[in-house]
Structures are given as C-alpha cells and as structure tokens.
Structure 1
Amino acid sequence: MVTWEAIEDLGVLPTRVWLSRPKLEDENAVNQEKWEPLRKGDCFTLNKQTKPYHPVLIENGRATADAENGIISANFVARSPREMVSCTWFVVKEERNDKHTSDIKPLLEPMPIEHSERVENLYQRAIYAASTYGDGIEPILKETLGLDDKYYIQVRQERSHYVMRKIPQNVISRSLQGSFKLQRGYGSYISEGEQEEDMLGPLNHVVFVVHGIGEAWFSKDKASSMVEQMDQLRLSFQKRQIADWKQKCEAAKKKLQPPPDPPNRVEFLPILWYHKVHNKSSAMTKSLMSVTLNTIPALRSIANDVVLDVLLYMTPNYCHAVLNSVTDEIFSVKGKIEKTFPNFSKKGKFSLIGHSLGSVICWDLLSLKKNSMRDGDNEHGVHIVASKTASNASNIAFIEETSSDEGETFCANAVNENGGGAWGPLLPKALERVLPFEPDFTMFMGSPIGLFLSLRGAHAVFDAIRDAHSQKPLISPFTLPTGAVYNIFSPSDPVAYRLEPLLLKYGTKNFPDPLYLTRLGGGVRGHVKVMQYVDGVIGRLWSKKSVNDKEEAVDENASLNFPLGGHTTRLDYQLQPGFIENEYLSAVKAHSTYFQNTDIIDFVIDVTGREGRIVIDLTID
C-alpha cells in the first residue's frame, strides 16, 4: 500500500500554524532568521479570529499579535518587533537535531498562504484520485502546478510513498540544488516554557529588575542582554516552580490530602535606563570620546561603558536623570500591566530587584519615597526630614537635634531640600514623582550600596539617630517603605558590599556573619556545614581580646534584628560556595551570574509564594 510522506497534519482540513521571526529594520534586506512556531495555545487563539483580524494577546499577555499587519509587538519590554505569518504547508530545507528531544527534525520554511491553498487543492485531488472513489492517481502524477516563474509543484511517487515536491523551473538550478519536499502541518513541537506556564495560576506578582553597570557594553550590536536574561530567568523560575509544586502534590498524596493549588505566575520585567540617559551626541559623550586614548580600544570601551556609570552616578545631575528615567519607566510598565490585567491592581503585588548599580538606584528610590511620606511610617518613631539649609551639603553628615510636638526629629545636613539624604542621593532638584507602590520585597544582588552609603557619610547619621532613641536598640535606626529587604551577594563578587555593619554602632567589631542563602526552612549543604565547623573552631582559637581594646564587639548571644524593610530581621545573605571553588577565579563571573543561580531562584520562589492562588483577567483594546 502506497502512503504519503511528510503529512504531519492528518485533518480533513489543515490547521493554520502561526510563526514569527525577528523583523529587520531594512525592509529591502533578505531576512535569514529562522521562523519559529508560536505556542499552540496562541495559534488556537489566532485561528479562532475571523477577518478582519483584531490584535490578540499572546504569550500570556507579554506580546500582542496583529495578524492583519503581520506584526508581533512586546507589551512590557523594549524588544524589536517580530514579523508573523500563517500557513499550512512548509518547504523542508534540511534536517537537524531537535534541542528538546534530540530527534532529527526538519528545518521548515513556511509557504505563503496563497501558495499553501493551491498546494492543498492539489493534495486533496490526489487523495481523492488515489481512493476507491477516484479514477487513479496516475494522471495527477503527470501534472505540474506552477507557483511562479522559478518553481513548480508536482506529486511524485518515491518507492512506497507519495510526496509533494517543490522543483526549480530552470534545468541548471534543478541539477544544482535538486527539489524540496513539502510538509503538511508543522508537526509536533514544544515551545520552551509553554507546558510549565500553562500549569501555573494567573499572574499575581510583578518584579521590576533594574540593571546596573555595563548595560551598554553587553548590549552592543545585539538585543539588550538584560531582556534576554529576564526571559531565561522566567523560564528557569517557572520550571522550578512546577517541580516544587509537584513535590508538594506527591507529599499531599502520601498523606491522603488534597493537592495544593498550583503557584501563581510571576513576571520579571527589566527596567532599562542606560540608553535613555546616554546620548552619543551629548556634550559629555563627545568630550569623553575626545579624551579617550586610541590604544587598547577594547579595554577602554569597557572602562567608558562600565566604570563610567558608577562615576557619573555620583554626580547630582546624572543621578537625577537616572532616577527620573527609572521612575518614568516603572510608571509606564506598571500602567501597561494594569491595563493588560485589569484585576491585577486589586490583588497583585509589585517588587524590586536591583543588580549592581541598579541596587543603589532602588535604594535611592525607596529613600526618596520614605522622605516623601509625611508621617514616615517609621516603627521606631524616628522621622527623617529635609534640612532647609543643606542644598550644598557635604557628603560627611552631622546631626542637629530639634524638638517637635510629635516626638524627636532629626535633620541630617547631608539631607538636602530636594529629598536626598545621607542614605539617599544628593540631587540638584526634586524628582517629579516617586515610586507608585511600596514593594512587597526589595532584593539587592551584587550591590555596592554599602560603599555608596559609606561615601555619603550615612554611618554617622545612623549612629546619631540610634543614640537619641530612648532604648538605644541594637537595630536598624530607620526602615524603608518595602515589605522586606534582602542583600544577596557572592563572596567572590568584587563589586558587592555588606549592609548590616552600617546599621550597627560605629566601632563595633566581630560583625555577625552573613547568613547563607537557603530555602525557607532549609539548611546549608553538607560541605558548607563542614566549612562552618572548621571556621568556628579556628575563630574560637584566635578570638582572645586585648584588655586595652576599646572597640565594642557584638554580643554573640544578642538577638540581632535589622528590620530595614518591614518583617525581615537579617539583611546580608551570601551564596553558598561550591564544593571546589577558587574565589579569585570565581570573581571573574560572580558579578554577572546572579540571575542563573538556582539558590536565588528557589529563594525568590519562597518569597513570592507566600499566598494562594488568585484570578486575574486579561484585556486588550
């Protein structure tokens, strides 16, 4: 019995498959990018549409598909548009290994829909002719279907199979490149992340991720690396979410309990600010380029693109531009989220993650929001206000005590009238607006905040506030408007600094060790326990103190509490080292691999999964 080859769609009528690829800016250029199928659920949604096509939300609201104009646009991130097509027949260009299954898969090129319809008509005629109701397929095998002046289509019998072929009209081209097999339907495929995301509940948490130094260097001549990192973080996060949920389901099954609800979806959205505050035509950029030496251009490019951001951020005008840009972007993306998910504002949460210099930006935004809160909402009863005489204040802070009917109020001379402070930025003028929400949590990764606060003279301010408190507590002298604060770093990261020592009295030594980052309720790995035991033994052997030592040590039995952001009691968390790890070699990549770290992903799963499932609708104009 003769069968058909490359017929993946066995339906009586073929199902349209929708595909996309990056759109070139130059419309006259030949696009060599590979077409990738959209998620099956998105194809189903698009196929339900009737002409004229209306824009459709796809990828769980992250993008909008405009089938009429053949464009897919990202909704929340700065990403180049994609072009989209639909078809039912494909040209098989070549075969290669599938990255998901390791099976041999064809590389498919979609045929234009009008060509697909003509090929489908020929295929249906051949099917009928070969059936018991037809007159035989031999006349069909002799037919040719001209597509254009370059190719024609023909049904051929090859051994025990019938196959549709696309054949060059030119004899020379035919002898050089041969013919191409046609395939009906795309066949089985897996869109990365679709299965996991379909198992999750609706979106209930949005995490804004503010990038740090070097974004210009990483994003040269390609899509923004931060956007790509957030895509990969979301995929890894969801896979571990589902794996964690399945374990809980198995545990519930053994206890004869009902399975828990699936976890809700979490979005990680990058907040990109570099290109909004840098302009190649600006006087500063031109001046910088004029003084840059022509030697070792690769290294000097790193210096200009990476180190320069830190130096510029310490200048008031540039700092103001960055904070304004980040705030505007957060307002914009937040508005798009609430427009796409109308019910999100009722139950959804927003949080912040800052990486590298981005963590300093997040700190400063929270500091400015704190200063804008009239009653301060400070659980320790100490409020920070702007000094009216400190518009040109030094970075070295000192405290002036004043009286108030509401309690003790302190003015730090490093706090200027535009909202900055000894722990926040010194700005030339006030920001137009502050953060539009109080983050559920704020997470700093590879953060130099400790360095910036030290340079701003914050330690002296914190001590003065603490000393004025009636109980003189061993706690944070103030809080930030966020539900929780975590300062996470790799011990090998040369850019990372601690925060907790700044919140202890100046002169304190034997600071509490940072905690190891673990799952909530979990412990450290075995080799880390051994390291802790050895370090403890050595520490006790060398911990004898001189009677003349006037520095104070933290009482090892004291209950340390650093409620800098609501309910968290500790701030500094270090990543667990590997079994075999050289800190100098690890330093090369430590600062750039936080978003791939599974311990961090698991920790964020715990932090964002504190509440149950909610229901949120999607909408589009």
Structure 2
Amino acid sequence: MKRVVTKIHQTVLTQRRFITTWYYATDIPKYKPYEPDYKPKIQPKSFKKFAIQDSHQLESTLKAKTDRFVQVNEDDLFTVDLQKMTLKPTYWEGPTYEVRRGIWFDSNKNPLSPQLSEELDELHGKNEHNVVLKLKGNYPEGRLIYFIDDGNVGFILKNLDGGSLILNYLKSGIGQYLPINGIKVTKYVHEQESSISDVKKTKNNNSKENPIENNTSSYLSKLTGSDLVDGISSYLSWNDVKTETEENKEFKHEMENDYQTSDSKGSPYKKNKRHVKHLILCVHGIGQTLGKKYKYINFAHTINLLRLNMKKVYSESVGIRHLNKENNMEDPENNCGIQLLPITWRHSINFEAEKNAAIASDLPSLSNLTIQGIKPFRKLLGDVAVDVLLYTDPYYKHIILEEVKDQLNKVYALYKERNPDFENLQIHLLGHSLGSLILFDILSETSRYKLDFNVSNFFCIGSPIGILKLVQRTKISPPKNNFSKLSLNGIKTNMPVCKNLYNIYHICDPVAYRVEPLINNLMSQYEQDYLPRSSTFDELTLKVMKIGGSIWDGLPMDSSKENVTSSVPKEIKLDKSLTSLLTKFNHSGRIDYAIKPNILDVDLISAIKSHVSYFEDIDIAGFLLREILSNHEITSEILVTKI
C-alpha cells in the first residue's frame, strides 16, 4: 500500500513539475509603437515567467482554440495574441514582446523559439537518441541536434568538428563542461525548483533594498545639480534616431519592475483581476513629442509608478484599508479597488510645427527656426513650450480637445468591455500640467465635448490652469450649466462638470498656479491647504516649518513682521457665504493643496525636479486614496491661514 501511495505521489509531483510554463521576452521588443519600420536585429535573451494562473489560462486556451486573445499579468493590463505569440499593453500604446511556451530551454533556462521547440519535439518523439540528426530550419543556435540519455537532454551543434570524440564526451557528461560549438538544450524546467530559486532571489533582493523606492523614481527626478545639466545634454540630446540599446534597456526595466507578480509578502497572486470600483484616467501634459524622442520620459511608466505607490501606501495604512472595509470592498486587506490607466494623446496629433508635417507646408518647422547654440536645451524647451503655444490657438485647441475626448471614451469603453462584471464603476480624471487644462476645458464645455461617463473626482497635478485662465479673463464657478458664461464686464466663467475638484502642486513648481482666487478673489489673502506627510522625516520637516517658519520665504523679513513674537500662524474661519461657495467644488471646501518641500528641496534644481516627480510622491498617492475611498460629508466650516 505504501508503494502505491508513493508512486501516486511521485506521479503527482512529476505532473506538477512538467506543467507547461509560458514566458515573455523583456529585452528586445518585437514591435515598437509609432515606429512602423522597426525590426529587431537580434533575438531576445531575457525572459520572464507568466504567473502560474496565466500559464494555465494560456495553455488551456491554446489547446481548446476558443480565443485568440488572452488577458494576463497584473490586473490583466496586458493581452497575449496566441496567433502571433506576442504580448502588448491592453489599454495604451507600448512595446510588443515575443511570447514563448516553456517546452525546450537553453543552458540559461531561457525558452527556445516556437519553431525550434516544435522541431525538437518532433525529433524527440522518434526516440532516436545518441544519433546526430539534421534540423530542417535555419536556426542561429545551430543545424544539428544530438540527443543523449532519455532524449530530454541534447546539444544543438553548428558543426561536427571533433567528430565522434566530442560526441562521446557529450554523452559521458564530460563534454558539457567543455567549450563546444553549440548549446545544451533541456526539455522542460522543473517548475518547483525554479520557483524556489525565484523566491530566494526575490527575498535576497528585498533584504538589500526597498523595491518600491528602487523602482519608483523617474530618471529626470533623480538628477541634481550638475547631473541635471549633464543628464539633459547627454540623455535628452536631440536625435532623430534613438539609441536602440539604451531604449530597449529602459523598456526592459519597465517590463521587469513596473508590474507585480506577487503580493507584499512575496507570495504569487491568487488571481490577476482585482475587483475594481474606481477607475482613474490620467492625461499627460506638456512635451510635444517627449515620449517619442526622449527615452527616459514615458507617461505609461510614470502611471505605473503611481499605481505601485498607491498599493504600497494602502498596504501600510490601517486607516485607509478600514475605509474599504466600511465600503464592503472585496478583499479589503489586499485590494484598494482602484485602477489607473494612462491616456496618451500627443502621438496621434500632427502639428505643422513638426518637421515631417512641415515638409508639405509653406511654413518652416520648429527645428528650422531653432538656433544651434545649446541645442539640446533649446530642443527640450521647444518641445515643452510648443504644446502650450499651440493650445492657445483655437484651431489646434479644438484638435487637441477632440483627440483627448476620443481617447478617454475609447479607453473607458474598452475597460468596460474587458470588465463587464464591474458594476457601479466610478470614473475619476487626473491631469498633469497641460493635461489638467485640457481636461478642465473638456469638463467646462460638455455640450461640445461629450464624455460617455460622469466624473467623480478631478485631480489637477502641477497645473497651469490658474495663470492661463487669468490671461483669458476667466473665473471659475460651480457646475450649473454645460457652457461658459460671459459677464457684462467681459469676464468669462468656466464651470467644470465634476463632483469634486482638486488642484495639487509642489510649492516649488514654477509651472503650477493656484485656482481658488479665480473662484473668489478673497481666497488670495489665505494660504493654500497642505497635503499631509507620510514619512517620519517629512513629519519632522513639517514640525520644523511650524516652529521656525518657512525657510523658503524671502529674506530679509518684511519690517512689518519683525515684531511678531510667534511664528505659529493663527487660523481663522471663513464666513458662511464663502464656505457655501467653496464646498460646491468638494466636500472640504479647499481646492488648492500644496506639497511642502523637504528641508533641502528649496533650490533651482528642486524647482525643475518638482514638475516631473509628482507621480513618485507618496503623499499624493495617499491623498488620492483617501479622497477616493472616503465617504465624505460636506464641511460646515473652513479654517484658513492669512498669508
């Protein structure tokens, strides 16, 4: 009886070990967005395993031949095309990578190409072991196969240099450790053993560094001092042809680090599709073609960083998780119920200021007008500034608004199609820089630009709305009608249609401006509100600021303030009419929220960094979670501090 049980147990273990695992390449894209002429020069050499449940789904779907497309990876954010054997993002444009079944592997445990694996399987089935066989296909690995032992191990050889002597060495096992003109191949990889190895590797890495901190910093925001100058000059230099190796390296880092295949404890996800109640659609801002030309600026990547930070904050905050328990959220301990998706609109628009479009026009392109001195900086500034200039032109503004509106509706419809079980889905908008102004105008002109969904929360990040609306002589009012009004004195009024409006900015961001004074000019007398700090160091910084005053205030002090004995500001309560007006924009009545810098973040470089690092900020991640998940009650009083 014991022998029978043992045999059955061994059979089960064998079956578990030989489950077909699927892999996707991470180093060499098969296709690239916006580059129709791109073709990979070499085969991929770096592969990552799909989650176990994804491998099961892919294998069963392939055998059943029921569907061509299968959603996979974290939150089903990617789609596998079983016909083309490729992997690409589901909701945004990104690199497409090769997908392989784990049938035959090289000595580095990388799966071989489907064509080579299929031919090896065919020859393996003939049980012709210890015999040199010729391969039909023309493979870079070699043209001959020599199976040894039971045929699950073999050597692909380019030629038979060494004759029978080298074959005898390979058969005996000695030759495996000698340099040969070929590679060793193995059928299947022991799933249990490789999984243990992966877990050990993950634990070792986690013990040395914080994975969130390591992976959630964009290239530009890390640069300080002269490094920023050198970085822009060398990495953001104007090249019509990108450095393919560097670009692929950045894509590889994104594919291997942006998406989680395990929970915070290192355990594999039980299922990929979380129950989602809130969808945040994020729109990028200025930068004419930054994502196309500059390899370190990738909006999809920055949204991935924000997604990771929100999950990190959620996992570490008992209070925020309790909000979901009150809302009867499914799996509130692990699932925040929020999904973020990027809306990339700029690549779909061709302006006459661009080089290619200008060829067929009588007007020169922007590059034709650019002075050659400090060219990298001029090109960078040109790319950043030209979108704002073009947006002020009514013709181009209409094109941009139409494109963003269409992209928002397209992604929303696709998400609903792919997730039909998610009922009562709330939609939130987040706009960065010019993206916030674009969204603001869409929500203020809903009769012209109709969205297919209602907007709950609208978050403006690093927004120039304040300055541009001031130049346009436009005030902001609560949403009453779906059009802009014009008063007798020529001042227009915009009324964005959303449930809650927030304007978030870094205190050092030169692009960002307040909006509360555009609602009522009395608010210019009072400070904006501040986002609560998350880290211990930041809490200490805030205490120092309260005790010693703001170190970024102008020096010397105004003479009227010299006799102030206490630097702790006194809060006052707004009158009821102003409170009633402000609470029509959100529950707290405060629209402007600033991020105070750390003690050392008060120089010019910090100002430059501040505008490109919002999506890495833990405080913003926490603020979004609290505002979206809380069941708010409208406040009856608003406390403010005089400037």
Which of the five TM-score ranges fits, normalised by the shorter chain?
Answer: 0.5 to 0.7
- Answering whether residue 54 of structure 2 is matched by residue 42 of structure 1, we say yes
Contact 2:431 2:459 in 1 (8 A): yes
- Answering whether residue 524 of structure 2 is matched by residue 496 of structure 1, we say no
CA distance in 2, matches of 1:596, 1:122: 51
User: Alpha carbons of 1:604 and 1:447: their partners in 2 closer, same or farther (altered >3 Å)?
Assistant: same
User: Alpha carbons of 1:290 and 1:581: their partners in 2 closer, same or farther (altered >3 Å)?
Assistant: closer
Contact 2:86 2:96 in 1 (8 A): yes
CA distance in 2, matches of 1:596, 1:28: 32
Alignment partner, residue 233 of structure 1: 306
Amino acid at match of 1:434: K
> What secondary structure does 2:357 align onto?
coil
- Answering whether residue 433 of structure 2 is matched by residue 351 of structure 1, we say no
Alignment partner, residue 58 of structure 1: 72
Alignment partner, residue 131 of structure 1: none
Deviation at 1:610, TM superposition (A): 3.1
> What secondary structure does 2:15 align onto?
coil
Contact 1:485 1:568 in 2 (8 A): no
Contact 1:204 1:348 in 2 (8 A): yes
> What secondary structure does 1:85 align onto?
strand
Deviation at 1:115, TM superposition (A): 3.1
Q: TM-score, normalised by structure 2?
A: 0.65
Residue of 332, 335, 351 corresponding to 1:263 = 335
User: Alpha carbons of 1:78 and 1:276: their partners in 2 closer, same or farther (altered >3 Å)?
Assistant: same
Residue of 21, 24, 32 corresponding to 1:17 = 21
CA distance in 2, matches of 1:195, 1:239: 13
CA distance in 2, matches of 1:309, 1:12: 55
Residue of 543, 553, 563 corresponding to 2:583 = 563
Identity between Structure 1 and Structure 2 (%): 23
Deviation at 1:111, TM superposition (A): 4.8
- Answering whether residue 460 of structure 2 is matched by residue 447 of structure 1, we say no
CA distance in 2, matches of 1:568, 1:306: 34
Alignment partner, residue 544 of structure 2: 530
Contact 2:147 2:154 in 1 (8 A): yes
Residue of 345, 348, 353 corresponding to 1:273 = 345
Residue of 186, 189, 193 corresponding to 2:260 = 193
- Answering whether residue 607 of structure 2 is matched by residue 594 of structure 1, we say no
The range that moved more, 19-28 or 333-342, is 19-28
User: Alpha carbons of 1:336 and 1:355: their partners in 2 closer, same or farther (altered >3 Å)?
Assistant: same
* Equivalent runs, 1:316-465 vs 2, <5 Å: 316-344=394-422, 346-369=423-446, 372=447, 431=448, 433-459=449-475
CA distance in 1, matches of 2:471, 2:72: 47
Q: 1:50-101: CA deviations, max 9, x gaps?
A: 24351222233323322133133432112243332212221124xxxxxxxx
The range that moved more, 144-153 or 172-181, is 172-181
> What secondary structure does 2:502 align onto?
strand
Amino acid at match of 2:30: K
> What secondary structure does 2:107 align onto?
strand
Contact 2:283 2:432 in 1 (8 A): yes
Deviation at 1:598, TM superposition (A): 0.8
Residue of 63, 74, 88 corresponding to 2:89 = 74
Amino acid at match of 1:482: C
Q: 1:471-492: CA deviations, max 9, x gaps?
A: xxxxxx9863212111111111
Ranges in structure 1 where 5+ consecutive residues have no aligned partner? 1-8, 94-105, 126-138, 253-257, 373-430, 463-476, 546-553, 612-621
Alignment partner, residue 180 of structure 1: 184
- Answering whether residue 304 of structure 2 is matched by residue 288 of structure 1, we say no
- Answering whether residue 589 of structure 2 is matched by residue 513 of structure 1, we say no
CA distance in 2, matches of 1:308, 1:571: 28
Amino acid at match of 1:458: T
CA distance in 1, matches of 2:318, 2:590: 27
Contact 1:514 1:574 in 2 (8 A): yes
CA distance in 1, matches of 2:308, 2:332: 22
CA distance in 2, matches of 1:170, 1:44: 40
The range that moved more, 187-196 or 52-61, is 187-196
CA distance in 2, matches of 1:246, 1:86: 43
User: Alpha carbons of 1:69 and 1:493: their partners in 2 closer, same or farther (altered >3 Å)?
Assistant: same
> What secondary structure does 2:276 align onto?
strand
User: Alpha carbons of 1:123 and 1:349: their partners in 2 closer, same or farther (altered >3 Å)?
Assistant: same
Contact 1:206 1:266 in 2 (8 A): yes
The range that moved more, 302-311 or 229-238, is 229-238
- Answering whether residue 159 of structure 2 is matched by residue 169 of structure 1, we say yes
> What secondary structure does 1:606 align onto?
helix
Deviation at 1:593, TM superposition (A): 0.5
Contact 1:213 1:310 in 2 (8 A): yes
* Equivalent runs, 1:114-133 vs 2, <5 Å: 115=117, 118=120
Deviation at 1:156, TM superposition (A): 7.4
Q: 1:311-349: CA deviations, max 9, x gaps?
A: 1111111111111110011111111111111243x4101
CA distance in 2, matches of 1:62, 1:92: 31
Counting matched residue pairs gives 480
Amino acid at match of 1:11: Q
CA distance in 1, matches of 2:97, 2:411: 20
Q: 1:445-485: CA deviations, max 9, x gaps?
A: 111111011101125999xxxxxxxxxxxxxx986321211
User: Alpha carbons of 1:310 and 1:536: their partners in 2 closer, same or farther (altered >3 Å)?
Assistant: closer
User: Alpha carbons of 1:242 and 1:261: their partners in 2 closer, same or farther (altered >3 Å)?
Assistant: closer
CA distance in 2, matches of 1:540, 1:290: 48
Contact 1:16 1:86 in 2 (8 A): yes
Contact 2:441 2:496 in 1 (8 A): no
Contact 1:447 1:487 in 2 (8 A): yes
Contact 1:53 1:68 in 2 (8 A): no
CA distance in 2, matches of 1:11, 1:88: 14
Deviation at 1:146, TM superposition (A): 5.1
> What secondary structure does 1:278 align onto?
coil
Amino acid at match of 1:230: I
User: Alpha carbons of 1:26 and 1:438: their partners in 2 closer, same or farther (altered >3 Å)?
Assistant: closer
Alignment partner, residue 103 of structure 1: none
Ranges in structure 2 where 5+ consecutive residues have no aligned partner? 1-12, 32-36, 137-141, 167-177, 200-255, 264-268, 479-492, 564-569, 632-643
User: Alpha carbons of 1:10 and 1:219: their partners in 2 closer, same or farther (altered >3 Å)?
Assistant: farther
- Answering whether residue 315 of structure 2 is matched by residue 242 of structure 1, we say yes
Structure with more of its chain in helix, by fraction: 2
Deviation at 1:543, TM superposition (A): 4.9
User: Alpha carbons of 1:223 and 1:266: their partners in 2 closer, same or farther (altered >3 Å)?
Assistant: farther
- Answering whether residue 499 of structure 2 is matched by residue 483 of structure 1, we say yes
User: Alpha carbons of 1:121 and 1:171: their partners in 2 closer, same or farther (altered >3 Å)?
Assistant: closer
Contact 1:119 1:153 in 2 (8 A): no
User: Alpha carbons of 1:523 and 1:19: their partners in 2 closer, same or farther (altered >3 Å)?
Assistant: closer
Amino acid at match of 2:434: L
CA distance in 2, matches of 1:585, 1:223: 18
